[in-house]
Amino acid sequence: AKDFFFPQTENLMDFKLSGKTIEIVDTRSETEDFVLFGVRACDVKSFEILDRVFLSDPVDTYYRNRREHGIIMSLACSRPQETCFCASFGIDAGAPEGDIVCTESEDTLYLDAKTAKGTALLDSLNTLTEEADGEADAAEMKAVYDTVSARIKKLPLAGLKPDAFGAGKTDEFFNAPEWKELSSHCLGCGTCTFVCPTCQCYDIRDFDTGHGVKRFRCW
């Protein structure tokens, strides 16, 4: 989901050449509001890491513009996979963060607004939704949450402890023999960059159009 806020390719600006004069053209245009639906708890949490990078001084205004216009509708996990380890990092898969939190229960989708942006969106959809039935629906949502929580505790990686990583331990893991075996299968395709929601590395490339230059950010 990160490419909605941090696209793989982005035209940052253009340079128009006229003799010895260079004109810098800001190619940005106001982004319309958009909705990310079905974002899982782990991906929502990853946005906080990107925020710490791109919203710290100096602020990346390209990223900030998209964050301001983006509305996140997260989806609570109902069938966590065996490879999940979100709980080890304090992420509650059954109660994700987001502007609107969605919870599935058989043929019903519960929507719970958590921010002003989320409330505004639900208000605009009031002709398509129904008000929750108080205690009955609350009990149903709790039952779904309890079921998911119980499943997560039984996952193979439920006991993973992140305290094995951190300051002073990097060298030990960096030189671990397992990396040599794992890297031998690497094709250098860069797919890990697409999969990892917290990777923020990028290149800046300039392309000569024949009558100017276009500057792109890409990863």
DSSP string, 143-201: HHHHHHHHHHHTSTTTT--GGGSSTT-HHHHHT-THHHHHHTT-----HHHHH-TT---
Token look-up 């030990």 returns 172
Question: What is the pLDDT, as a whole number, of residue 133?
Answer: 77
Which among 92, 81, 83 has a CA at the least distance from the CA of 157? Answer: 83
Asked if 215 and 15 count as a contact pair (C-beta separation under 8 A), the reply is yes
Rounded to an integer, what distance in angstroms lies between the CA atom of residue 146 and that of residue 181? 40
Rounded to an integer, what distance in angstroms lies between the CA atom of residue 45 and that of residue 49? 8
Instruction: Print burial letters for 120-132: b (CB count within 10 Å at least 16), e (below 16).
Output: ebbeeeeeeeeee
For helices 61-69 and 41-54, what crossing angle results, to 10°? 140
Bridge partners (DSSP) of residue 105 are: 108
DSSP string, 40-67: -HHHHHHHHHHHHHHSSSSP-HHHHHHH
Question: What is the pLDDT, as a whole number, of residue 32?
Answer: 86
Phi, psi of 164 (to 5 degrees): -75, -10
Rounded to an integer, what distance in angstroms lies between the CA atom of residue 20 and that of residue 215? 19
Asked if 2 and 36 count as a contact pair (C-beta separation under 8 A), the reply is no
Q: Widest CA span of the chain, in angstroms?
A: 73
pTM of the model: 0.83
pLDDT tens for the 219 residues of the chain, in order: 888 999 999 999 999 988 888 899 998 876 789 999 999 999 999 999 999 999 999 999 999 999 999 999 999 998 888 888 888 888 999 999 999 999 998 888 999 999 999 999 999 998 888 887 778 888 888 888 999 899 888 888 888 877 777 667 777 777 888 888 888 888 888 888 877 888 888 999 999 988 889 999 998
Rounded to an integer, what distance in angstroms lies between the CA atom of residue 105 and that of residue 76? 10
Domain ranges of the chain: 2-218
Asked if 158 and 80 count as a contact pair (C-beta separation under 8 A), the reply is no
Question: What is the pLDDT, as a whole number, of residue 38?
Answer: 94
